[in-house]
Amino acid sequence: MTAEKIQQKGEGMIQVGNATSIGENVQVIFLRPATVQIGDYVSLGDGVKLVVDGGDVRIGDWTTLHSDTLVLSKTGVEIGQHCWFGQNTVLDGTGGLTIENGVRVGMYSQLWSHVAAGEQIEGCTLFGERPIHVESDVWLVGSCIVASGVRIGRRTVALIGSNLTKDAPAEVVLAGSPAKVKDGLSFYKPVTLDEKFEMLAGWLGQIAGMPTMDAPSLERDGDAITVHWDDVEKVTFYKHAADYDKAVVNRPGKTTLGCVENKRYVKAMTGAERGVLKFLAGNKARFYA
């Protein structure tokens, strides 16, 4: 899908990647010139609106903004790969907003990097712009509020209705208003590389068993697994980064290569790549270009 489907107002540049889905009535409103970059495999739902006041916006591959998401950018908005934003989310980059890879934000959540209310001429001190930084794999379950200047650590989960008013450490669970750490509660467990590879093998087996026109087949060769989409397109995953690095050097053009150890992949922009990685990306395994 091309940039032409996006309703543009004002002067600015919109760059749209490949295999991207653009819904109805998607708008980019430039108040001042800037650049909006939308990666490959991105999905923008109906009514998504970006209001850009001079700050560039970058949306990484595989990221989804569901319907009526509002993005405000003055200082800038940087969104990583494989992020997901529910309906009616507000993402405010007035003071700067950085969202790393794999972040999930439930519907009706609001991230505000600025505050301005009463009149300064009357002595009101409630105003300011401070950047928000959300580290990788954070999950804001839904109806969460993040205040300006807050940094949220990697893999932290904020339960529904949480109000984050100060920095949160990595790998904790938050709840309440103001949000506080729930001691003794965790949603992650240790997983070995061998266990990860076997989990992936099981999921790829499900793909191979799906009734599709091209009838994908599965081939396992030691610490490598290949999904053959047809006679040309295929997706191969390696357990170890060293084997992956060697394969990348001589990669055939229609082959997507992925690695379980480092979660990286090399794009081929094929139907096989889109089908396999999309199947995995929900909450199974995400790979990053």
Domain ranges of the chain: 3-181, 193-281
The dihedral built from the CA positions of residue 190, 193, 194 and 200, taken in this order, carries a sign that is: positive
Residues 6+ apart with CB under 8 A from 23: 43, 44, 45, 46, 47, 48, 67
Under DSSP, the state recorded for 222 is T
Give dist(CA 236, CA 224) in Å, integer: 7
CATH class of 193-281: alpha beta
* Predicted local confidence at residue 2, as pLDDT: 63
pLDDT tens, position by position, for the chain (289 residues)?
A: 467 899 999 999 999 999 999 999 999 999 999 999 999 999 999 999 999 999 999 999 999 999 999 999 999 999 999 999 999 999 999 999 999 999 999 999 999 999 988 999 999 998 899 999 999 999 999 999 999 999 999 999 999 999 999 999 999 999 999 999 999 999 999 999 999 999 999 999 998 777 654 668 899 999 999 999 888 899 999 999 999 999 999 998 899 999 999 999 999 999 999 999 999 999 999 999 9
What element of type H or E holds 128?
A: strand 127-129
Give dist(CA 256, CA 250) in Å, integer: 12
The architecture of the domain spanning 3-181 is: 3 Solenoid (2.160)
Of 241, 245, 234, the closest CA to residue 197 belongs to 241
Rg over CA atoms, the chain: 21
* pTM (2 d.p.): 0.94
Cα dist from 75 to 5, 38, 114, whole Å: 26, 18, 11
Residues 39 and 19: beta-carbon distance below 8 Å: no
Of 57, 60, 55, the closest CA to residue 81 belongs to 60
C-alpha angle 241-245-248 in degrees, rounded to nearest 5: 135
Give dist(CA 119, CA 116) in Å, integer: 9
Structure token pair of residue 286: 């995400």
